[in-house]
Structure 1
């Protein structure tokens, strides 16, 4: 059974993913600003505490927890994301900073904290978006979000290169339309053909086995882009 760290677990894909992995017997550290949905599961395979990627004290708490209770980590899934949807002319520098703080800077920092606990067979899975893929269809209002997801793709490729001789492996999944609260925020009323549970099932298998075949790769996991 694996030791797994997941961010963004209070709703949507992260919540479903946490349940699936715990049900399979894996030990999951579920991190989210709102821990109540996970806490209410009362699953003995899940540990959680309130966690905000942008708060230094929370990152220190994570390091302390890993040192004491999870000295080895097999899988890190950077699923947490922040969305701002507004015209570029109305998107302030602060808006850009808040989005990048979670989607890029926060991912870099939590990865740096977890890496010392991972071995050569570990797997870091970053969750990006089709909106961040070069040449893909783009949508007005998502300048901060989609550009941050593009940065995450490049960061993943760079880390895979830097750690290719020692591990762990790094891969990034660019998700298309999935029926989540975040999708509703970006595209009100749109009905995606893929549910959060369906996507979570795919990510679960990829997180556990994908590093055997892939490293430094971007996989486009999309059958629909609104």
Structure 2
């Protein structure tokens, strides 16, 4: 029986992925800061435990428990992440550090913990959950996009470094997904500056997300978490998976638009969506 470790498994893509792996007979280790939200996973046979990827002590404690249970991790799904919104002028260093701690540094640390086992076995697969947000940047979400750009580069380097050991690295890049992540993207803002000069963007950003979530004929339809989970599981069993897997219309169209449009034209499109053009 193969063992899969999933971070950020308390909701959305992570939870659906854990369920699907378990349905297919895998031993599933599901981790999250919120263990109370994984009771349903425990009931179907997943091994659930608390792990905050931003805290070294939490990671160490979690892996002590993991290694006491198994000496084999075949698949790592790095799913934990969130979106820090706000204009650069508004963001505190704490905001920026935490964004990268969750989306980049925590992911790297968890990956480092599983690599000795995978190298020893000369086999393994690491699936990083990236985003179409690693292909373009939107005003008001620079920190999030920067973290996803960083994940693109990290995944490329990791893939090259681990190839001689038989370890494969896959970057899964969905478009918008119907999860708490997307809903939270309307509210994760720092305190506004005096006079709230960026208030219009916040308002229009919220309206844009509401429109995407509630429209049945959006040009960029929202994906169901289960759809993404199915592709994650598929990519874990293919002999030669793609290094990048784009899921949904948004993930496929946006990179093309970014490549074909000039920076000025692309900026105009983004600013128009946010109602910021004068």
TM-score scaled by length of structure 2: 0.74
| Alignment map for 1:186-201 (pairs within 5 Å) | 186=185, 188-189=209-210, 190-191=212-213, 192-201=221-230
> Which segment drifts farther, 181-190 or 200-209?
181-190
Give the C-alpha shift of residue 83 in structure 1. Answer: 1.4
CA distance in 2, matches of 1:170, 1:8: 19
| Alignment map for 1:89-100 (pairs within 5 Å) | 89-100=89-100
The structure whose residues are more often helix, as a share, is 2
Query: Does structure 1 conserve the Cα–Cα contact (< 8 Å) formed by 2:125 and 2:167?
Result: yes
SS in 1 for 2:84: coil
SS in 2 for 1:83: coil
CA distance in 2, matches of 1:44, 1:219: 29
Runs of 4+ in 1 over 6 A off after TM superposition: none
> Which segment drifts farther, 14-23 or 185-194?
185-194
Instruction: Please tell me whether Structure 1 or Structure 2 has the larger radius of gyration of its CA atoms.
Output: 2
Match of 1:128 in 2: 130
Give the C-alpha shift of residue 107 in structure 1. Answer: 0.7
> Which segment drifts farther, 98-107 or 50-59?
50-59
Give the C-alpha shift of residue 203 in structure 1. Answer: 1.2
Give the C-alpha shift of residue 44 in structure 1. Answer: 5.0
Query: Does structure 2 conserve the Cα–Cα contact (< 8 Å) formed by 1:77 and 1:207?
Result: no
CA distance in 2, matches of 1:143, 1:200: 27
The structure whose residues are more often strand, as a share, is 1
Query: Does structure 1 conserve the Cα–Cα contact (< 8 Å) formed by 2:155 and 2:170?
Result: yes
CA distance in 2, matches of 1:146, 1:222: 18
Give the C-alpha shift of residue 35 in structure 1. Answer: 1.2
Distance of aligned partners of 1:163 and 1:34 in 2 relative to their CA distance in 1, 3 Å threshold: same
SS in 2 for 1:169: strand
| Structure 1 runs not aligned, ≥5 long | none
Residues 16-47 of structure 1, C-alpha deviations (whole Å, 9 max, x = no match) = 11111112221111010001222234435301
What number of residue pairs does the alignment pair up?
220
